[in-house]
Amino acid sequence: MSRLLVFVTLAYVTGIAAGAYLPLKPSLYLVAAMPVWLGWNLWKKHRGPLTLVPCFILFLAAGSLAFNLSLDRVHGRLQEYHHRRCTLVGMVADEPLLRDGSVVFPLALQRLQAGGREEAVSSTVRVTLYQDGGKKVVPVYGQEISVRGLLVVPEGKRNPGGFDYRSYLETRGLSAAFYAEARHLSVLGYGQNLSVVRRLALETKEKMAAVLQGQLPPAAGGLMVAMLFGERQALTAAVEEGIRRSGVAHLMAVSGLHVGLLAAILFLLFKRLGLKGWPACLLLVSLLFAYTYLTGLKPATLRAFIMLALGAVSLYLGRRKDLPTAVAAAALFTLCYNPLLLFHPGLQLSYAATISILLFAEPLQRLLLQGFARLSPPSFSPSLQEYGAGLLAVTTAAQLGTLPLSAFYFKEISLIALPANLLLLPVMGLLLGLGLFVAALGLVLPLFASLLGLAAYPLLMYMLWLTETLGAWPFSLRQVFPPRPWEMAVYYLSLLFIAWIARKGGSLPSLWALVREQLHRIRLFHLLAAILLILLPLSWWGRPVFSPLPLEVVFLDVGQGDAIFIRTPGGKHILLDSGGGPVYQDDLERAGRLVVLPYLQYRRVKKLDLVIVSHPHEDHYGGLLAVLAQVPVDLFVTNGQEVEGGSYQKLLALSAEKGIPRKILQEGDRLLLEPYLEMTVLNPPARLFMGTGSDLNNNSLVLQLRYREVSFLFTGDLEDAGARQMLARGLVPSSNILKVPHHGGDMAAFAAFLDRVEPSVAVITVGNNPFGHPHARILSLLEERGIQTFRHDRHGAVMVRTDGYGWKIKTMLSPEPAQAFLLRQPAFARGVCS
Amino acid sequence: MSLLQAILDLFFPPACPFCGKILATGAGAAASPGGTGEKLPSALPGFGEGGILCAGCAAGLPWLENCCPRCARPLPEAEKVQECRRCRAAPPAFDHCCALGSYTGALREALHRFKYNGARGLAVPLGRLLAARLSAMPWLGEVEALVPVPLHPRRQRERGYNQAALLAVAAGRELGIPVRAMLRRNRETKSQTGLDRQGRLENMQGAFCCDAQPGGGDSGGDKGTGLKRLLLVDDILTSGATAHAACLALRQAGWSSVSLAVVAR
């Protein structure tokens, strides 16, 4: 290994990535043994392959330990206050972010009071302060405040393909979310723990931003501030949309372009002033750090800073700088500072782009120049050719590196990113230089600054015009299904392979020679190992590759509400209810937008063959408004109950507008969906219930889905009256897996109902609710009968797979609220038909 | 290798001074046995260890193998180990010259970077290479100190360092011989470029003076070693005018035997 730092960093990064799966104690011992090992090596002057392996293992262990420790440190002891109202006392740890109707800021806790008990705590939480009309309450960075509200420690991902709020907070060093109303906040004064430097940096930045925004029209000024300081919230919504659609959003993240430009300006300035040697080097590095600090120490900025600082030191030392080592040093430093940043999309995108540029920019440029040479007369300005080829090569390389990641995180890719970047990058240097100059000058000489600010105006207008025009093209942005992890792995491995070929020579004949040379090196042992590696996973799946697909029934966790996704053995997609209110009264579609649609994208569902709404209650159909708007549907089934006005009518109107045929089902209807797959309707009766406790609930569609010998019973929000009538008429079939009616609400006839169904597994679709669901009696009845019970509030989404004879159940969350990092591991269950 | 060097090597891994390829060092050096390969010229012993340069450059650089021992000018095959005709006709002021290679190709580029592009880090590999070549010289045992050819103070301020001094320090550390900067520039000289041999000689005449006498009180604690030879160190030998003038200054101060070591000629 010629680049030791790269090697060590790879080991450390692997350790962090695998941190959740590596045992903690051995890691601890290994890291404790590290100084001994280092000392021994130094003493013996040991070198060679044998020391590389322990070196890798040690840094792997260090990574895993760093991951687990920082996770522990982030979480502190807040877990026990999950979902409790408490009063927090602490310091506002950063500038608040202004949103519509709310203010968001991190709060570094000092004390926590709940239930008459007070405890000293030391984690940081993310506070969302809702503005209740009247005067807007915006706390200031560094203020000590006391605030009363609800503390939520989010679990990991609750749904496949869903948003992992827990790790989102973790990577930002936050342990929990806290929701409060502005009137419950009181300011206690300025905290003592306030970092003077940070305060100064923020104030300077604010002043600079004010200078820029004061001299330019709002859209242009916002753009300038966003580019200089990486503050996307300074953009107006329309501008941001255009920038996102044209794929130049990376310009709003302070990274190599920005810091590099500043470094170049300072370098030239120092040269002019005759400043050199270590004072120049030190000054340059500290000024670059000041800028990095000013923009909030974001991962991409930190990476650029470390790489440039190493470059400056290499100039001073007269040593050759090595870019791969510089990237590794940046990664190692950043991840020692906070290991959880590895899971930060910003960091991943930044490093993917950088590494890809390192690997591909040069060979691509060579290729392009060759192409140019064929196309144009050789006399055509060679320096311009070089510049163009370089620009195109760097942009293409960066796109290559970040494509799957942005598809994964944003579920969209910009198809015009390449031309947009080519048109914008050339003016970026001038624009950033001018902006920085104006901002700095404006602090001292406002008049000059305003003149210079006018000079930047045409460039800003050009940028605004370009992003707006390009972004307006309908084909500029394409929604994509997020790639799966293994697909990304294959993509990146092939990129690395191509890079390797490009390094080794490039042309096809030489490639073939290379492959032959490598083939000669292969020994029987390698072949055997490869075959084993391919066979092992196959044997783990434990089934032949070409057997029919299993039936999948997924109870998505939409909180209090139903959303059940069915994938038939024939590959058809059915959605039974789609979540919604009443928890999110204000935003009916929320569950559809945040849970169901992401899940459908994750499953790459292009079309739903059948959508069923069990009954017209918001927590069952609300999310469908979002789903219908985006996904084509073949057939829409309801229970025939009509409700006056409101959102349900909106839903029916939407389905009519989309031209989706609607069908009303009732007791006695049977749908033979596929061979061996049958859906039977058991409720409502032909004459709908009238005058029961809740007609809407009792008229729920009750469906039995049977695949060969395994059957599911979906009961909607059936209540006592409905259940009694079904029992009386002998319409309750025995089923293996029961969706407990009405989110586990009380039902007098439930014992009799259960005795008829005789389920092995029960699923309660319950979330946080004011109705006392699930009812204690229901739970004890299930427990008495030894029925395995899953509930959304404990398990997250519940996924059932069956081949028609037995079933396997997987949940997203493990029910034991054990140590923090164990929460990530899901629970498994298996069952067979008796 | 000092701890500082080790840390610097971690962040700026040592590269081949000629082609820039990162060398296998540290923990992995033994993974590729011999480090820099087996194709090294026989006259350069010990190159493999520590990895100074890559195998490709070790094989491809314009090493000087068969040359005049007095002035390091390449010799035709017939005149092995004898002084060349020019040296016999007009002997230079130095007794021997040891040169690493001819001033062409990759060596020329490396020296250019070393001298004019601020790549002062190249002093270490070049100095070590020079030391390896020097250790094969029979007269090395007599050498009391390495003496770098000085730059004029103004030139040194501009450049920030004296490349010959850096080379001497690196080679001296490798050989275990002290470095003594006993030469000074008397006056500022014109640039040597663009002058013919005669012009260069005239240009350099009396440019140096020497501060220390052999066995003198100010020369430090190496009295009584009985070794009287000085080794003048410079980066490039072209016409020999600079070296000649520097050697004359040393001889005037009483040093009777002076040799010369350069990276390229």
Q: Using 50, 70 and 90 to split pLDDT, how confident is the model at A305?
A: very high
Query: A739 forms bridges with which residues in the sheet?
Result: A763
Q: Which residue from B minimizes the CA distance to A316?
A: B118
> In chain B, positions 9-68, which contact chain A (CB-CB < 8 Å)?
10-13, 15, 20, 22-31
- Spell out which residues of chain B touch residue A4, defining contact as CB-CB under 8 Å: 10, 13, 25-28
Q: Using 50, 70 and 90 to split pLDDT, how confident is the model at A376?
A: low
Of A167-181, A213-227, A762-776, B208-222, the poorest mean pLDDT is in: B208-222
Mean pLDDT confidence for A150-177: 87
**Can you tell me the distance from the alpha carbon of A331 to that of A14, in angstroms, rounded to the nearest whole number?**
12
| Start-to-end C-alpha separation, chain B | 30
**Can you tell me the distance from the alpha carbon of A84 to that of A88, in angstroms, rounded to the nearest whole number?**
12
The yes-or-no verdict on residue A693 having pLDDT over 50 is yes
Portion of chain A with pLDDT greater than 90, in percent: 41
Q: How far is CA A215 from CA A23, A427, A788, B77, in A?
A: 57, 20, 67, 79
Query: A125 forms bridges with which residues in the sheet?
Result: A107, A176
ipTM over 0.85: no
| Cβ-defined contact of A325 to B119 (cutoff 8 Å) | no
| Cβ-defined contact of B31 to A1 (cutoff 8 Å) | yes
The yes-or-no verdict on residue A246 having pLDDT over 70 is yes
**Can you tell me the distance from the alpha carbon of B68 to that of A793, in angstroms, rounded to the nearest whole number?**
90
Cβ–Cβ < 8 Å for B57, B101 = no
Mean pLDDT confidence for A639-661: 89
A284 min Cα distance to partner chain B (Å)? 18
pLDDT at residue B44, rounded to an integer: 44
The dihedral over CA atoms of A516, A520, A522, A528, expressed in degrees to the nearest 10, equals 90
Task: Give the gyration radius of chain B's Cα atoms.
Answer: 18
The yes-or-no verdict on residue A819 having pLDDT over 60 is no
Cβ–Cβ < 8 Å for B193, B203 = no
Sheet with A702-707: strands ordered across = A670-674, A677-683, A702-707, A710-714, A737-739, A761-764, A788-791
Of A99 and A664, the structure prediction assigns the larger pLDDT to A664
Q: Does B141 lie at the interface with A, CB-CB under 8 angstroms?
A: no
Cβ–Cβ < 8 Å for A702, A713 = yes
Among partner residues A3, A48, A49, which is closest to B13 by beta-carbon distance?
A3
Q: Is the previous residue joined to A582 through a cis bond, with omega within 30 degrees of 0? A: yes
The yes-or-no verdict on residue A322 having pLDDT over 70 is yes
The yes-or-no verdict on residue A699 having pLDDT over 90 is yes
Q: Using 50, 70 and 90 to split pLDDT, how confident is the model at A700?
A: very high
| Cβ-defined contact of A277 to B25 (cutoff 8 Å) | no
The yes-or-no verdict on residue A765 having pLDDT over 50 is yes
| Start-to-end C-alpha separation, chain A | 59
pLDDT at residue B49, rounded to an integer: 46
The yes-or-no verdict on residue B223 having pLDDT over 70 is no
pLDDT at residue B219, rounded to an integer: 46
B119 min Cα distance to partner chain A (Å)? 4
Mean pLDDT of chain B: 78
- Spell out which residues of chain B touch residue A319, defining contact as CB-CB under 8 Å: 8, 12, 119, 121
Mean pLDDT confidence for A513-534: 75
Mean pLDDT of chain A: 86
Helix (H), strand (E) at residue A110: strand A102-114
A499 min Cα distance to partner chain B (Å)? 17
- Spell out which residues of chain B touch residue A52, defining contact as CB-CB under 8 Å: 27-28, 31
pLDDT at residue A104, rounded to an integer: 92
Mean pLDDT confidence for A468-483: 87
**Largest separation between any pair of C-alpha atoms in chain A:** 98
Cβ–Cβ < 8 Å for B110, B151 = no
B6 min Cα distance to partner chain A (Å)? 11
The yes-or-no verdict on residue A820 having pLDDT over 70 is no
Cβ–Cβ < 8 Å for A333, A265 = no
E-assigned strands of A115-161? 117-120, 124-130, 143-152
**Can you tell me the distance from the alpha carbon of A743 to that of A746, in angstroms, rounded to the nearest whole number?**
9
- Spell out which residues of chain A touch residue B12, defining contact as CB-CB under 8 Å: 310, 314, 317, 319-322, 325
Q: How far is CA A61 from CA A26, A27, A237, B7, in A?
A: 8, 5, 45, 22
Cβ–Cβ < 8 Å for A257, A426 = no
Query: A478 forms bridges with which residues in the sheet?
Result: A413
Of A427-436, A766-775, A825-834, the poorest mean pLDDT is in: A825-834
Provide the pairing of β-strand B258-264 with B97-101: parallel
What does the DSSP 8-state code read for residue A253? Answer: S
Structure tokens at B95: 């007794």
- A558-617 pLDDT per residue, tens: 988 999 999 999 889 999 999 886 544 567 888 898 899 999 999 999 999 999 999 999
The dihedral over CA atoms of B185, B187, B193, B196, expressed in degrees to the nearest 10, equals -100
Q: Where are the alpha helices (DSSP H) in A274-381?
A: 277-294, 299-317, 323-337, 345-375
E-assigned strands of A634-701? 636-638, 662-664, 670-674, 677-683
Q: Using 50, 70 and 90 to split pLDDT, how confident is the model at A88?
A: very high
Cβ–Cβ < 8 Å for A798, A827 = no
Of A171 and A547, the structure prediction assigns the larger pLDDT to A171
pLDDT at residue B168, rounded to an integer: 94
Chain A residues with a Cβ under 8 Å from any Cβ in chain B = 1-5, 7, 47-49, 51-52, 55, 276-277, 310, 313-315, 317-322, 325-326, 329
pLDDT at residue A147, rounded to an integer: 94
Mean pLDDT confidence for A479-497: 90
Of A76-80, A162-166, A259-263, the poorest mean pLDDT is in: A76-80
Question: Of the spans A169-178, A233-242, A719-728, B231-240, which averages the highest pLDDT?
Answer: A719-728
